[in-house]
Amino acid sequence: MASSHVTKRVGVFGGTFDPIHNGHIAVAGSVRDQLDLDEVLFVVTSDQWLRENPHVASAADRFHMVELAVDNVAGFTASDVDIVREGSTFTVDTLVDLHHQLGIWVELYLIVGADSAASMDQWRNGSEIGDLAKIVAVGRPGQEFSVESLAASHPASGAEYVVGPMVDVSATRVREFLSAGRSIDELVAGVVAEYIEKQGLYR
């Protein structure tokens, strides 16, 4: 696509968001600002295939928490494209569907944390991802990562690396804090903490 025809630069940030936490929000904001993106879509997985443990909140709850967290944040939008498609989520399908939804003059930027970027060689049809979106790998505390160390055949070998805000939070930690009865106020947005409390999630 000739760059002069690009009308919109859209970040695609996929995840289980189980639940969405401050690390996600900080990463998306940092990439949006550094790459001058018009919008970031938070694309909530319907199902998952690369994680050892099944997720513990329903897609509806995870999507709703993302909606709450991004509400009123300029340029942040929750996307249910993977939930609507149903079945296991594969990023190539997400990107194809988004191209159909958004039109050909949109340029997609797939945002992945360093841990996810490193695992992209295991993703289904991972080699096609670079044709559908520019890949942006973002630093994550505790994750060694460098684009240069990847084999040329690795889908993330052509990624742009952004150090990002390096916020040491994971959804696993949020769930662990909740099951231990600890406060998650420092880890997630207030509206998300309230929803988790009200729905009795992760207990």
Q: Which residues bind ligand ATP (CB under 6 A)?
A: 15-18, 23-24, 27, 112-113, 115-116, 138, 140, 167, 169-172
Rounded to whole angstroms, the Cα distance separating 183 from 11 reads 31
- Considering beta carbons, is residue 94 or 170 the nearer one to ligand ATP? 170
Is 139 in contact with 163 (CB distance < 8 Å)?
yes
Q: Tokens in use for 177?
A: 């804090």
Q: Which is nearer to ligand ATP, 11 or 113 (CB)?
A: 113
> Residue 163 forms beta bridges with which residues?
none
Give the CB-side neighbour count of residue 55, counting CA atoms within 13 A: 22
What CA–CA distance (Å, rounded) separates 203 from 196? 9
Task: Go through 113-146 and write b for each residue having 16 or more CB atoms within 10 A of its CB, e for each that does not.
Answer: bbebbbebeebeebeebbebbbbbbbbbeeeebe
**Residue whose CB is less far from ligand ATP, 7 or 125:** 125
Q: Which residue has the tokens 């929000």?
A: 25
Name the residue with the smallest CB distance to ligand ATP: 113
Instruction: Find the shortest distance in angstroms from Cβ 3 to ligand ATP.
Output: 26
Residue 174 Cβ vs ligand ATP, minimum distance, rounded to whole Å:
8
Separation CA 34–CA 74 (nearest Å): 15
Of residues 112 and 156, the one with the C-beta less far from ligand ATP: 112
**CB of residue 94 to ligand ATP, shortest distance in Å:** 13
Toward ligand ATP, which CB reaches closer, 7 or 45?
45
